[in-house]
Chains A and B, each alone.
Chain A
Amino acid sequence: MLVDYYDLESLLTEEQHMIRDTVRNFVESEVLPIIEEHNQAMTFPRELVPKIGSLGLLGPTLPEQYGCAGLDNIAYGLIMQELERGDSAVRSFASVQSSLVMYPIFTYGTEEQRMKWLPRLASGGAIGCFGLTEPDFGSNPGGMITNAKKTSNGYILNGAKMWITNGTIADVAVVWAKVDSDSSKSIRGFLVERGMKGFTAPEMKGKYSLRASVTSELVFQDVELPEENMLPGVAGLKGPLSCLTQARYGIAWGAIGAAMACYESSVDYAKSRIQFDKPIGGFQLVQAKLAEMLTEITKAQLLVYRLGTLKNEGKMRPQQVSMAKRNNVDMALQIARIARDVHGANGILGEYPIMRHMMNLESVRTYEGTHDIHTLVLGEDITGIAAYT
């Protein structure tokens, strides 16, 4: 079943269709059967990584010479949607690897850095993570403390990052740090490799959300980095923020996948669950919920389709991505909550995907810029007055 009330299907190219269907089949047969177990056990389904890599889902918009598929942005969005229809943790893994690790290495890295990392990251032979957030600096990353001191042949890195997806299992971490200064203008990206002396990445435990994703601290204690581990192409907050724009674009699509899963399950349940001698889908209150869900999903789909077209044309603005991330994640979370309600007691069981999506989406609402921070981005864009401080 496809949630496609406005026939967006007919706007897709044959390749986009095939890509969407391929990822959907993959998720149906490889992700859905195992994800709840991983979610309960709080383990990352690492066995999926080589499969995701060989399908070409990692860094799929990057050029073929790095082992990537060279897809357009709508195809990329569809991949994210289908992955998150499975689970936000699997989509998060792919988002981080593609948009937060491969994208900066491709965009700001040297040819040597690209050749060293991109093919391995594309195949799933290596895993990457992105370290921006710190214990004391979340929404305000410009205040970061992590710093790199210039030496004669490289840098010495000190500091700590927190809430880092893929951290513990990463072979390479794209870490943002200030160089010899307090100013956010001095922020640079560094490639910190697993096993480097002074670098540890303990996993954070006890999450109720994104349980099938690895979330970690990154600790740097006098880590010696050679010059060639610095990304030369960008300085300042613009570096990490440009990566986040890419990732948020994918999240805006991904959230629709989670919402679709909740909606589809709700429709099935409403048609088959009998109370007072008729399917609960026959009651007006339940129908109103389903109508609301479908309407919101359809609006969200139109938003990202247009956003994808703008991105393909090179005309997308980060503020437009903020609107889509803000709207679509909130939409998905609301739908998950309503779906939980429609499923009654069954809504809390792992047998249905609802509660898992709902809890996952709480993280998605916070990471990559909280819902409220995106409100402020839009507020600034509308009025010209920044309201962050």
Chain B
Amino acid sequence: MNIIVCVSHVPDTTTRINVGADKKSMDPAGVKFILNPYDEFAVEEALRLRDKFKGEVTAISVGADNAKEAIRQALAMGADKGILVKGDKSDSFQVADMLAAAIKPLSPDLILLGKQSIDFDGMEIASMLSELLDLPAATVAVALNIEGNKATVEKEVEGGRETIQLDMPCIVAAQKGLNEPRYPSLPNIMKAKQKPIQEVSGAPGAKRTEIVEMTKPEKKRANKIVKIDGNASQAAHELARMLHEEAKII
């Protein structure tokens, strides 16, 4: 089985983000990057399927030079080779366009990716790839089963789950719960260095969106613990008064 996994290089969830001087981008100084957590589920699923059906897993990423780190992480987990498509990734359509152009000639049996990339949080790539490659897609997948050339996907829907069947080749976007991603083992981290990463330049169509401005969320106000004397009813009155007069929210 020829499997493609799309991986994204994103700021670590615990890192402190600042907006750059142009107010339209993130200031990368001091930011630690990781493999997008949802992509980890996609990589894990790809590795399990490869081990079951034989074949090859190719990790592909659109981004700057340092996106190779995300590819390397996928290789360290066990993927066989990587492709870095060099290009700007601030517009989802351009990313999907570049991915589609790189994936198409490889004629994969399955394309896996995370349901969203936690940097721009667009949640659009799977659906856009579906359109651009003319392949069926399942998003928010929590279970995947492949038999013959049919993929059965259990996916989250509002308030429940839905099971759908897709013809292969198809696209599946992973949600947390699809599996338990492995840690890359140390021998595999060392071997990842020897695995090939092909570099190509992306040539996407025109942008569909333009970032106008980036701002940080307002600072969280400091929490306050107030001690109120008296019984429950008196305490409730006092609390209501404070919310009304001091915090001015009711």
**B 8-62 contacts with A by CB, 8 A:** 14, 32, 34
B189 at the binding interface (Cβ < 8 Å): yes
Query: A144 CB to closest chain B CB, in angstroms?
Result: 35
Query: B190 CB to closest chain A CB, in angstroms?
Result: 6
Query: A5 CB to closest chain B CB, in angstroms?
Result: 13
Per a CB cutoff under 8 Å, which of A22, A69, A70 touches B183? A22
B73 at the binding interface (Cβ < 8 Å): yes
Do B183 and A26 touch (CB < 8 A)? yes
Do A69 and B14 touch (CB < 8 A)? no
> Cβ of B73: which chain A residues have Cβ within 8 Å of it?
18
B69 at the binding interface (Cβ < 8 Å): yes
Given the interface pairs A14-B69, A15-B193, the reply to whether A22 lies near B184 with Cβ below 8 Å is yes
A60 at the binding interface (Cβ < 8 Å): yes
> Cβ of B34: which chain A residues have Cβ within 8 Å of it?
21
B76 at the binding interface (Cβ < 8 Å): yes
> Cβ of B187: which chain A residues have Cβ within 8 Å of it?
56, 64, 68-70
Do A56 and B186 touch (CB < 8 A)? yes
Do B183 and A71 touch (CB < 8 A)? no
A331 at the binding interface (Cβ < 8 Å): no
A42 at the binding interface (Cβ < 8 Å): no
A57 at the binding interface (Cβ < 8 Å): yes
B72 at the binding interface (Cβ < 8 Å): yes
Which residue of A has the minimal Cβ distance to B185? A56
Do B69 and A60 touch (CB < 8 A)? no
> Cβ of B32: which chain A residues have Cβ within 8 Å of it?
2
Which residue of A has the minimal Cβ distance to B73? A18
A382 at the binding interface (Cβ < 8 Å): no
**A 58-75 contacts with B by CB, 8 A:** 60, 64, 68-71, 75
Q: How far apart are the CA atoms of A60 and B188 in the complex, in Å?
A: 12
**B 158-185 contacts with A by CB, 8 A:** 183-185
Query: A281 CB to closest chain B CB, in angstroms?
Result: 14
Do A55 and B190 touch (CB < 8 A)? no
Query: B74 CB to closest chain A CB, in angstroms?
Result: 11
Most buried by A among B34, B186, B193: B186
Most buried by A among B69, B185, B189: B189
Most buried by A among B32, B34, B72, B183: B183
Do A19 and B14 touch (CB < 8 A)? no
A25 at the binding interface (Cβ < 8 Å): yes
Range, interface on chain B: 10 to 19
Query: B34 CB to closest chain A CB, in angstroms?
Result: 8
B contact face: mostly helix, strand, loop, or mixed: helix
Most buried by A among B34, B76, B184, B187: B187
Given the interface pairs A1-B14, A69-B190, A70-B190, the reply to whether A18 lies near B72 with Cβ below 8 Å is yes
Per a CB cutoff under 8 Å, which of A18, A25, A54, A64 touches B76? A18
Q: How far apart are the CA atoms of A146 and B69 in the complex, in Å?
A: 53
Q: How far apart are the CA atoms of A19 and B189 in the complex, in Å?
A: 7
Given the interface pairs A1-B14, A15-B193, the reply to whether A22 lies near B186 with Cβ below 8 Å is yes
Q: How far apart are the CA atoms of A68 and B185 in the complex, in Å?
A: 10
Given the interface pairs A1-B14, A18-B76, the reply to whether A69 lies near B69 with Cβ below 8 Å is no
> Cβ of B188: which chain A residues have Cβ within 8 Å of it?
56
Given the interface pairs A14-B69, A15-B193, A70-B190, the reply to whether A55 lies near B183 with Cβ below 8 Å is yes
Per a CB cutoff under 8 Å, which of B72, B186, B193 touches A69? B186
> Cβ of A56: which chain B residues have Cβ within 8 Å of it?
185-188
Per a CB cutoff under 8 Å, which of B183, B185, B190 touches A25? B183
Q: How far apart are the CA atoms of A296 and B172 in the complex, in Å?
A: 50
> Cβ of B69: which chain A residues have Cβ within 8 Å of it?
14
Per a CB cutoff under 8 Å, which of B14, B72, B184 touches A14? B72
> Cβ of A71: which chain B residues have Cβ within 8 Å of it?
186, 190
> Cβ of A19: which chain B residues have Cβ within 8 Å of it?
186, 189
**A 8-47 contacts with B by CB, 8 A:** 14-15, 18-19, 21-22, 25-26
Q: How far apart are the CA atoms of A92 and B204 in the complex, in Å?
A: 53
> Cβ of A14: which chain B residues have Cβ within 8 Å of it?
69, 72, 193
Most buried by B among A15, A25, A26: A15
> Cβ of A70: which chain B residues have Cβ within 8 Å of it?
187, 190
> Cβ of B184: which chain A residues have Cβ within 8 Å of it?
18, 22
Per a CB cutoff under 8 Å, which of B186, B190, B193 touches A57? B186
Q: How far apart are the CA atoms of A1 and B13 in the complex, in Å?
A: 11
> Cβ of A68: which chain B residues have Cβ within 8 Å of it?
187
> Cβ of A21: which chain B residues have Cβ within 8 Å of it?
34
Query: B97 CB to closest chain A CB, in angstroms?
Result: 29
Q: How far apart are the CA atoms of A108 and B72 in the complex, in Å?
A: 36
A interface list, Cβ under 8 A from B = 1-2, 14-15, 18-19, 21-22, 25-26, 54-57, 60, 64, 68-71, 75, 79
**A19-B186, A71-B186 known, 4 other contacts, Cβ within 8 Å:** A18-B189, A22-B186, A70-B187, A71-B190
Q: Which 9 A-B pairs have the closest CB atoms?
A: A56-B186, A69-B186, A69-B187, A56-B185, A18-B189, A56-B187, A22-B183, A55-B185, A60-B186
13 residue pairs of the A-B complex, CB under 8 angstroms, read: A14-B69, A14-B72, A18-B72, A18-B192, A19-B189, A21-B34, A25-B183, A55-B185, A56-B187, A60-B186, A69-B189, A70-B190, A79-B186
